[in-house]
Structure 1
């Protein structure tokens, strides 16, 4: 679909825009959910509640606790062979493979032990330095925040 918006831009309070190329070829349902939530301004103001240096930054929970999600139904897993490496965006979930909802994470470094167990839906193409600048912690004392999530062609 040529008219689909396949770029997500997360404007972070840690300094700027993170440009993410969406991957509907890997996870069409998850990409559609990310698009929906961005268009509904769901992610605006949401914090990165779990940021582990050398591993990943996790956000997408409106409660900021890691226990919440959107009011939409959980999604069935769309696991792929895409490797979890620096800049990869993947869905967070509970123990159940089919429990992804709105939470996601961005890998700081290779995390290949996650391959085939979490749904990869995108990859950072610009602005990874702003992800690197997020305050670390579980949760961070002063968590970094998504100021605005927007879509573009």
Structure 2
């Protein structure tokens, strides 16, 4: 009887998103699989999953890519392929900014973090994937996930130029982003 009650309780509770599947096109072609960490950053994971489920990330470019550091994407306001790429990276979504959910998880290779302005409570829709360890970010940015497949695809994302890593010409794009359970 207890087992049956536990099954019904599980069925009645809302399913949490456990990951993202990102189809990438451009210099990098393939699929990146990300395990989202609901227990570490529940508000950020909820926002990313909602934006992905609504199709907001589909067609968004990797606008800032720095060799040996990270690839940034997720500007659903100005980062759509075919839009004004000069503004990519300056926008967010129609959803409110989020309060920081810092953790003790280190920014190692494959870790996914939320991009933000100087205000720690300004993360919205943009996120980045680490090419290599960046422990200087530890405790200053919210960790939301970890790449579990397709790191070879991440490694092939077109690099940007200059100190800020702005991608010149045709950037790689998240063609389709799907929430997985």
Per the normalisation by structure 2, the TM-score is 0.82
Report SS of the residue matched to 1:76.
coil
Paired residue for 1:94? 117
In structure 2, the residue matched to 1:149 is: 177
SS of aligned partner of 1:123: strand
Deviation of the 1:152 alpha carbon: 1.3
What displacement does 1:5 show? 2.5
1:24 counterpart residue number: 38
Give the alignment partner of residue 108 of structure 1, picking from 109, 127, 131. Answer: 131
Structure holding more helix per residue: 2
Unmatched runs of 5 consecutive residues or more in structure 1? none
Residue 11 in structure 1 maps to residue 23 in structure 2: yes
Which consecutive residues of structure 2, in runs of 5 or more, have no partner in the other structure?
Answer: 1-12, 80-87
Deviates more, 1:93-102 or 1:141-150: 141-150
Runs of 4+ in 1 over 4 A off after TM superposition: none
Question: Which structure's CA Rg is the greater one?
Answer: 2
Equivalent-residue separation in structure 1 for 2:97 and 2:180 (angstroms): 25
Give the whole-Å Cα distance in 2 for the aligned partners of 1:68 and 1:2: 30
- CA apart distance, 1:34: 0.6
Tell me the TM-score normalized by structure 1. 0.97
How many pairs does the alignment contain? Answer: 153
Q: What corresponds to 1:126 in structure 2?
A: 149
